[in-house]
């Protein structure tokens, strides 16, 4: 069965510093991978997704993620964090043969001045 692990519940980053949020998945074949962001009181918004091809994926708001098959990881990165990036971030995994996505438990990002 598919599963997703986001090992960090909370992360605090200074404004202007770089960010990396970790995501590890469990699935036997090549998965579909997603990162979503949820601002307080809002629904989830897609940041980026990986289906195939180039393993470095660019998304909205200056985010990128890299698929590493050997590590079963899909970590999210941003070179310089802005205060407006404070939110909760969810990694999700899907596959062509499955009818649903499986979400991680989320990482809450706090941005300090």
Report if residue 99 touches another protein, rule: CB under 8 A.
Answer: yes
Name residues contacting another protein, limited to 60-79 (CB under 8 A): none
Smallest gap from Cβ 21 to another protein, in A, equals: 14
Contact stretch for another protein (CB under 8 A) within 19-27, 59-67, 76-84, 94-102: 94-102
Q: How far apart are CA 14 and CA 82, in angstroms?
A: 9
SS (H, E, C) 34-69: EEEEECCCCCEEEEEEECCCCCEEECHHHCEEEEEH
Task: Find the binder of another protein among 14, 18, 45, 71 (CB under 8 A).
Answer: 45
Exposure class string for 22-61: b at 16+ Cβ within 10 A, else e:
bbbbebeeebbbbbbbeeeeeebeebbbbeeeeeebebee
Residue closer to another protein, measured from CB, 81 or 90:
90
* Cβ proximity of 91 and 62 under 8 Å: no
- Is 19 among the residues that bind another protein (CB under 8 A)? no
Binding segment (CB under 8 A) for another protein, from list 16-24, 59-67, 72-80, 97-105: 97-105
Contact set with another protein (CB under 8 A): 9, 32, 34, 36, 41-46, 49, 90, 94-101, 103-106
């Amino acid at each position: 069965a598919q599963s997703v692990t986001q090992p960090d519940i909370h992360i605090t980053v200074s404004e202007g510093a770089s960010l990396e949020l970790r995501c590890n998945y469990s699935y036997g074949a090549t998965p579909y991978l997603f990162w979503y962001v949820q601002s307080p009181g809002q629904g989830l918004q897609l940041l980026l997704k990986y289906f195939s091809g180039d393993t470095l994926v660019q998304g909205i708001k200056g985010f990128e993620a890299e698929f590493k098959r050997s590590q079963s990881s899909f970590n999210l990165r941003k070179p310089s964090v802005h205060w407006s990036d404070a939110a909760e971030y969810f990694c999700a995994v899907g596959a062509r043969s499955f009818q649903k996505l499986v979400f991680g438990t989320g990482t809450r990002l706090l941005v300090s001045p």
